[in-house]
Structure 1
Amino acid sequence: MFTRSLILAAGACLAAAPAFAAPAAPARPNIIVILADDLGYGDTGAYGSPWVKTPNIDALARDGVRFTQGYVAHPVCAPSRAALMTGRYQTRFGYEFNPVGRDRTGGVSRDEVLLPQVLKGAGYSTGMVGKWHLGQPAGYHPLDRGFDSFFGVMTGATSFMTDFRVGDEEITPPGAGASFGLAEGVQAPPGATEAEKMALLRRAAPVLRGREVVEEETYLTDAFTREAVSFIDANAGKPFFLYLAYTTPHTPLQAPASYIERNRDIPDKGQRVYAAMVTALDDGVGKLRAELKARKLEKDTLIVFLSDNGCAGYIGTACTNGPLNGFKGLHLEGGVRVPYIVSWPGRFRKGAVEPQVVSSLDIAPTAAALAGADLPKGTDGQNLAPYLYAKAPAPFARRLFWRSGPNYAVRDGAWKLWSVNRAEPGETESLAAGITPDGVQAKVSAQGVYDMLYNLADDPGETRNLAASRPEVVARLKAEIAEWDRGNVPAQWTSMRQAVRRHEGQMLKIYP
């Protein structure tokens, strides 16, 4: 089924991978991928948060390698996860936009081989806990895609709580919309109480154990941690792969009194509730590592921690991607550059802070190489293990690409180009500017595209657009995009949450 072992990147879209002298291959590690949901680049202590305390995530960084230029392949949830699970740009197989309910009728193509299938074929026990968002029908469920066990939710959002008690808090910042309305197709009747809204959201996006709906009353982040620890406990005697995809701190922003109290010193309610949600996430990381240590598996386990995209601008000042510009849904750095930590105590470097450009695309080939497994042809990521082993690795060149309809971006060395469709005359700023019908691909408007060129070495905040002064760089990067795009296919469906945003004085059409 698998035709070759992937140690170096495949395809013309990547620069040649570096050649490292890695040590003799150790025993195959257990592999844990912890994915936060909409966690901001600047929302952990390790990445400079001024108010969110994350001692366990910070300790993970001290015990491993913290990348300061770690990227995801898309700035919204489902396409980003599709790339992580395959090691391939999601545009290779048309999973280009959030499905927004369509994952109930389809999902990631079954022609694609997912990481759990690769590792299961290599003898690993495979378990998933948390948010799937890659397809719900028969054939697309996690249990159909290589996982031995599943506990979690299938869609993009659900309620974290089923009942509010004294001291619990919820916040819907301006612009966010009602929390229940952020899940696919969920609408509450006028005058519905918060309890009724939460119940409606949980019914629309229920918690499953395997394929069966369960009534989960525990705060959802804690329930996911409980199930992840249980999976480690049950599989401690053999190699395992755990994909722990938390739903926190995605909306709705909800936290119980126990976590609110630990963040009571934060006066702004939005920041306080968001921080409380991250506290629960951080506690989960600590409990997982404590379980590994108790079972003497700490030095036998690789942990990767990252977010699926940057934090959402629609929750206002509750989160931050600082010092980066932009938010979830945008191909600015704040949308696609995320916290990215890799730790394997006793094997990989300890306490390193690395500026090397890496991607979520690299997780699948790195895990497969360490597991002694083969990946299919056409993988876009590269095996980072040799770089992580090396005590003083030399930096290597990297190109990364993004596509959302007619909008494209590329990072090549220090250069970053983002080309965005201009809005039509008369369109005003909106988070929901229209829907292109399925089967009709969004096209470049008659107004053309607006090019933004940044030198990230000098301007990581993307504040100085150099497109006008460096047209030769723009032309070169557009040629690279065109070459890369020849390996992509049309989107399975169109964006359902198109937006018009004003940026650099231009009205631009975004297709998240």
Structure 2
Amino acid sequence: MKRYLLAVAACLVGLATTGFSSPAKPRSPNVIVILTDDLGYGDLGVYGGKVIDTPNIDALAASGVRFTDGYATAAVCAPSRAGLISGRHQARFGFEFNPVGRDEQTGVPVTENSIAQVMKSAGYATAMVGKWHIGQAPGFHPLDRGFDSFFGFLGGAASYFKEPAESGLQADTGADGAMTRARFPIVRGRTVVEQGGYLTDVFTDEAIGFIKSHRRQPFFLYLAYNAPHTPLQAPKAYTDRYAHIASPHQRLYAAMVTSLDDNIGRLRKALADEGLERDTVVFFLSDNGCPNYIRGACSNGHLAGYKAFPWEGGVRVPFMISAPGRIAPGLVSSHPVSTLDILPTVAHLAGVKAPTGVDGRDIASALAPTAKPVERTLYWRMGPNHAVREGNWKLLVVNKSDTVDDMTNVLGSPTPDGVKAQVSPLGQWTLLFDVSKDPGEKHDLAGAHPEVVARLSKDFAAWDKANVEPMFTSRRQFRSEVDGRKVQLFN
């Protein structure tokens, strides 16, 4: 593994110093950040998945470095995106929970720098395609946050088809009726557009159009697919590939991921056709783990928990970087990385400084052969629930519960606005795991290592002092169960 890390380091350092050379002047590499939505850790072949065919994403991983321990800053969509876009943990500025019906009033504070603003300052053309979900009001829109263009939808989810009749198959998950084009329309810039076709294909078409029209200048593209987030919908051509799967939910989900995979293949082919494959750095990851409310259709592999859970299944995600000719192919790293790291890394690639106060770490600098070893500590906060990963240790502190909720009912009946997330009257579970040996978080070691629990608890308290109160309350307060422990979660 040390040999792998040194190889990764050498190649990533080269990313920042070796750009496309034209007769006129050296060119910084293009950057594409591909963010998928609710994609499970175990849904991809390269992460051990056996059910769904993902040859194009697997090939993307094989062309560069795949991280086994890649993390999102949150276990749900909007807070995770807020952390990625700003390079700062969302608890620093109060975007701690999903807005859930409050999108039109709030967003990531304008005092926070965005990754697009950083790249624009370096002279890049910037575009955002897909799902935004971190602000709709004036000042919070993508066009107000450094993107030259925007095509997609502003809320949390949308129907993949303009008309339901277009769909080859649909499977209900309980709250799909709210995810309509009427509520979450597709917009170009700030104008609603009538857009037919399957949305995963449509977003890829838009991304390819941007690439082709900006092939002669450095560009930054944030391609945030909503796939495979609900509603579960796919064209018949894709569902037919999985006709052997009896469960309509699993068949739909597999079809959606295969469609996503085909579109990743289309995107990579477009880069190659335009002669840009070796001049472009591609990040690929998910915003959080896959959910438990889609009837077992997805997989987080050997990890415990799901979307909305601070266990590994909620926050450890597929995470890879491809840069042909710059990163040696086939590398696998167990070095923990975070979505917080993307902003400082791409700033380095663009030749500019990351904004002061970012929580992320430039991956190239952190892995450089000459860099001194630095222990990496990652933190998560979801109301009174929190987690810390330091080295191989992971501390989990989660509210106790005496009941378990039906997730369909939770999605359809959110907690009233204003109900604060507080420590449970029943107390909290304090759990400690060695995630290097026990990534499934089955064996609690808190009793055997009270000194580690005390140290990590102290570290969290010190980190938490720099955070602020949530801007809005959690409307996804629900109770679930993990390995026999009933827990209360906030998202």
Contact 2:304 2:482 in 1 (8 A): no
**Residue number in structure 1 paired with 2:149:** 149
Residue equivalent to 2:17: 25
Structure 1 counterpart of 2:334, from 350, 355, 362: 355
The answer on whether the counterparts of 1:68 and 1:355 sit within 8 Å (CA) in structure 2 is yes
| Structure 1 gaps, min length 5 | 1-17, 184-200
Amino acid at match of 2:400: R
Match of 2:23 in 1: none
CA deviation map 1:135-164 (0-9, x unaligned): 001111000000000000100011001334
Q: 1:134 to 1:54 in 2, by over 3 A?
A: same
Over 3 Å counting, the alpha-carbon distance change for 1:232 and 1:100 in structure 2 is same
Alpha-carbon shift at residue 270 of structure 1 (Å): 1.7
| Alignment deviations for residues 408-429 of structure 1 (CA, whole Å, 9 cap, x no partner) | 1000111111101223x6x543
- Which has the larger displacement, 374-383 or 256-265? 256-265
Which of 405, 415, 419 is equivalent to 1:429?
405
Unmatched segments (≥5 aa) in structure 2: 1-7, 20-27
Q: 2:68·2:318 contact (CA, 8 Å) conserved in 1?
A: yes
What is the percentage of aligned positions where both structures have the same residue? 51
* Superposition deviation, residue 276 in structure 1: 0.8
Give the AA of the match of 2:434: N
- Which residue number corresponds to residue 162 of structure 1? 162
Deviates more, 1:86-95 or 1:255-264: 255-264
- Please say if residues 429 and 507 of structure 1, whose CA atoms lie closer than 8 Å, have aligned partners that are also in contact: no
How far apart are 1:388 and its partner, in Å? Answer: 6.6
Q: Work out whether 1:300 is the aligned partner of 2:282.
A: no
Q: 2: distance between equivalents of 1:110 and 1:400?
A: 25
Do the aligned partners of 1:20 and 1:386 also contact (CA within 8 Å) in 2?
Answer: no
Aligned AA for 1:297? L
- For residues 168 and 395 of structure 1, what CA distance do their matches in structure 2 show? 52
| Contact kept in structure 2, 1:38 and 1:250, CA below 8 Å | yes
The TM-score normalised by the length of structure 2 is 0.91
> In angstroms, what is the RMSD of aligned CA positions?
2.1
Contact 1:302 1:343 in 2 (8 A): yes
Aligned match of 1:70: 70
Alignment of 1:128-147 (within 5 A): 128-147=128-147
- Return the offset for 1:490: 0.5
Residue 460 of structure 1 deviates from its aligned partner by: 0.9
2:289 equivalent in structure 1: 310
Q: Is the 8 A contact 1:356 1:396 kept in 2?
A: no
Aligned equivalent of 1:483: 462
Cα distance change of structure 1 residues 292 and 19 upon mapping to structure 2, 3 Å threshold = closer
Amino acid in the other structure paired with 1:429: D
Deviation at 1:167, TM superposition (A): 7.7
* Cα offset, 1:505, TM superposition: 3.5
User: In the alignment, what sits opposite 1:192?
Assistant: none
- C-alpha offsets along residues 445-489 of structure 1, whole Å, 9 cap, x if unaligned? 332211111111221110111122222211111001001101100
2:397 matched residue in structure 1: 419
Would the alpha carbon gap of residues 19 and 51 (structure 1) be closer, same or farther in structure 2, given more than 3 Å must change?
A: closer
Q: Distance in 1 between matches of 2:245 and 2:161?
A: 22
Distance in 1, matches of 2:229 and 2:443, equals: 31
Aligned length: 470
- 1:398 and 2:376 aligned: yes
Say which SS state the counterpart of residue 120 (structure 2) adopts: helix
- SS for the counterpart of 1:292 is helix
Question: Is the deviation greater in 378-387 or in 317-326?
Answer: 378-387
Q: Specify the alignment match of 1:408 in structure 2.
A: 386
Query: For each residue in 1:249-278, what CA deviation from the matched residue of structure 2 results, as whole angstroms up to 9, or x when unmatched?
Result: 000000011211233343432221111111
Separation of aligned partners in 1, 2:128 and 2:389: 32
CA 377–337 in structure 1, closer or farther in 2 if over 3 Å, else same: same
TM-score when normalising by structure 1: 0.88
